[in-house]
Structure formats: structure tokens, C-alpha cells
Amino acid sequence: MYRKSVFFVWAAVAWITPAAIASVLGWSSIWGSGSVFADFLIPIPVAGGVLHLPSFIAVSTLLFTQPWTGRLGGQVPGLLLVGALVGVATLLDLNKLQLAATTETMGGSFWQQQPLGLFILTDSLLAQLFVRSLGGRWPLGNREWAASLAVVLVIPLAYAAVALKTDRRQQDPFVYAGVREGDQRGDEMAFYYSKLPLGSDGFRQAAAAVLARHDPRNNLNAEDIAIYFFDSLAPAQTFSKSGAQFTVCLYQDGTPTTWHPGSMDCFSGHESFSERFEKASSAQNASLPQDVKSWLGRRDACAGRKPLTAPPGTFMDNKEVRLCDPVLTEQSRAELLRKFEGDANALAHLR
């Protein structure tokens, strides 16, 4: 009866504790429910509690089978400590720690909201409090202590090494630091730390994926994009473009992509479609309604422009494609003609 009571207390405490911790820390629920506490308590596939079942069943089995006989009996506390350290490794952002060790990473927490890690950690730590009550024992003699210590050190370190190696972010030769708008509408700057020698053939080949990610031809907001590459993470994180070691300039209007050693201004010598459109709109007769001035600016900005065409097998959607589409332009004109049918001045300009 005593063992059953102790085991019941263990089960109740172990099941509730991680849900309470996640709630106190302000974690988000896995499935988008309003309460992370309730989400972590419910052990069904549509709730976060289902992720608690593997570690809870494993640790419960280890406790329920106490005391182990023979030499293995002294390894139980060590195995539970292994579980706790594996939980810690799962909660840590190992990729960010690796970057901190090899670069000048600035700010940010090294912990992540990882329910599996929290479940493993709390189950393993709490089980330590119940081992002796259920007949378990600590290691006896130097040999058992040495074996326990080896298990405690080797398994978590091996797990962390494997987890880091399989982290997809480790396979990426670039670390994305952020993006911000330029001084003019349609200008955008992206910042990357490169693990490759900047300017090398390997760098240029790998950077193709970054350029594709920021392709302005499929961007409704950014038309001229400067991608700044750094050999140090700290200046990339502070958006210090003057410290860039390499710059790639991308343009939506078909202007060829350019590659430049060092930090380069991609914007001042190039007029984007948004700039042309704003200039053409502001040049219209001030007495006209705003809608009409905007349509006339659209007409003038698109005049003489070769229609943008997407490469085979790709889809293109951006501001110039939309505003310079002849069908959409004529539809807009027809709507304005109906809207301002009583305004002779507007009609004269629209016709």
C-alpha cells in the first residue's frame, strides 16, 4: 500500500509540474489553445500533454521496478541525472550557443520553448526524490560511482553533439541577422553573417539561395534590395552596414544583380518603380482628384517600360507587374470614368 501511495504522489506531481512551470514562464500552448497549463495536462494527440507521455512512461517504469538487483541497482540515480541533463540540452538553443562560442553573438536568450525538454527534465529531477522511497539505492563502491559518472557525462554530451549536428541551421552557411527598410520607399536592406570566406567561389554559389530568398521580383514592398554580408555576427546583428565585407544589389526592374566587395550603396544611383510612380503622380495637375492623379502617374510611370516577365516555371508578382498590367490599367480607367462622369476636367485628362 505504501509503494502505491508513493507512486501515486509521484505520478500526480510529475504530471502537473511541467504544465505549471510552462504557465508561469508564459510559454505558448502547442496547439494554439488559450491555456498552456490545460494544454500540457491533456494527454491526447490534439493537446500538448501527449508529448509528455514518452518520458513520463519511461521514468515511471524505472521507478515502479525499484529496487533493481545486482550492480545495476546503483545506476538508477545516474540514469535519472542523464535524463535531466538531456532535458537541459533539449531546452538549450545549441545552435545559438555554438554561435556564441565562435562569434560575437549579441543578446538574446539561449533557452527555447521546447516542451519535450521540459517534460524530460522535470520527470527526471522529480524522480530523484522518490527513488529511495521505492527501494532504490545510490551507487556502492568506486566502480559503481565511476560507471555512473561515465554514463552521466557521456550520454548527454553525445546527445548534444548529435542534436547540434542534425540542427538544420548548422547546415546553412549563412546566419540571418535581420532586415530593415531603406530611406526611400521600396528600398530594403538584409543582413547576414557568413561562415564562408566572403567573395570566394563557394560563397557565391551558396549565396544563390539567399538571393533567391530575397528576390525582389516576387516582393510587393521591396524593389531595390541590398544584402550585406559580414564575417562577424555582432555588426550584422546591429545592422551596421558600414562594416559589411560584401554587398549584393538586387533590383526588381530587371537591372542586373551586382556583387561588390565591402559596403556598397545600392540605392542612390538607381530609381525604383515606386520612385518613378511617386514622381509621375506628383507632376500631375494639382486641381485633379487624387484618384485621377494616381492613375495618370501610373500611366506615365509605366510608359515605355518593357513588361516584366517571369522566368520559365516561376511566378512573379510585384508592384510594377500589377500597376503596369494593361488589362488592369484599362479597368481602373473605366472605373474612374464612371466615378467622375460629372467632372469635365477629370474626364478630359482620362481620355
Helix (H, G, I), strand (E, B) or coil at 251: strand
Does the pLDDT at position 344 exceed 80? yes
Rounded Cα distance between 14 and 249, Å, is 55
The pTM score is 0.65
First-residue to last-residue Cα distance in the chain: 95
Rounded mean pLDDT, 119-141: 88
The per-residue pLDDT for 106 is 66
The per-residue pLDDT for 277 is 86
Q: What is the pLDDT of residues 11-64, one digit of tens each?
A: 999 999 999 999 999 998 877 667 899 999 988 887 888 999 999 999 999 988
Which residues, 6+ apart, have CB-to-CB distance to 53 below 8 Å? 43
Cβ(18)–Cβ(119) below 8 Å: yes
Q: What is the pLDDT of residues 52-87, one digit of tens each?
A: 999 999 999 998 888 887 777 788 888 899 999 999
Rounded Cα distance between 52 and 116, Å, is 7
Q: What is the pLDDT of residues 203-241, one digit of tens each?
A: 999 999 999 999 898 888 889 999 999 988 888 888 988
H or E segment and range at residue 276? helix 273-282
Rounded Cα distance between 271 and 53, Å, is 59
Which residues, 6+ apart, have CB-to-CB distance to 98 below 8 Å? 164, 170
H or E segment and range at residue 222? none
Q: What are the CB-based long-range contacts (under 8 Å, 24+) for 322-331?
A: 322/220, 323/273, 323/277, 323/298, 324/298, 329/298, 329/299, 329/302
Which residues, 6+ apart, have CB-to-CB distance to 142 below 8 Å? none
The DSSP bridge partners found for residue 193 are 175, 230
Rounded mean pLDDT, 148-165: 87
Q: Amino acid identity of 97? A: L
pLDDT greater at residue 203 or residue 144: 203
Do the strands 224-230 and 187-194 form a parallel or antiparallel pair, or are they unpaired? Answer: parallel
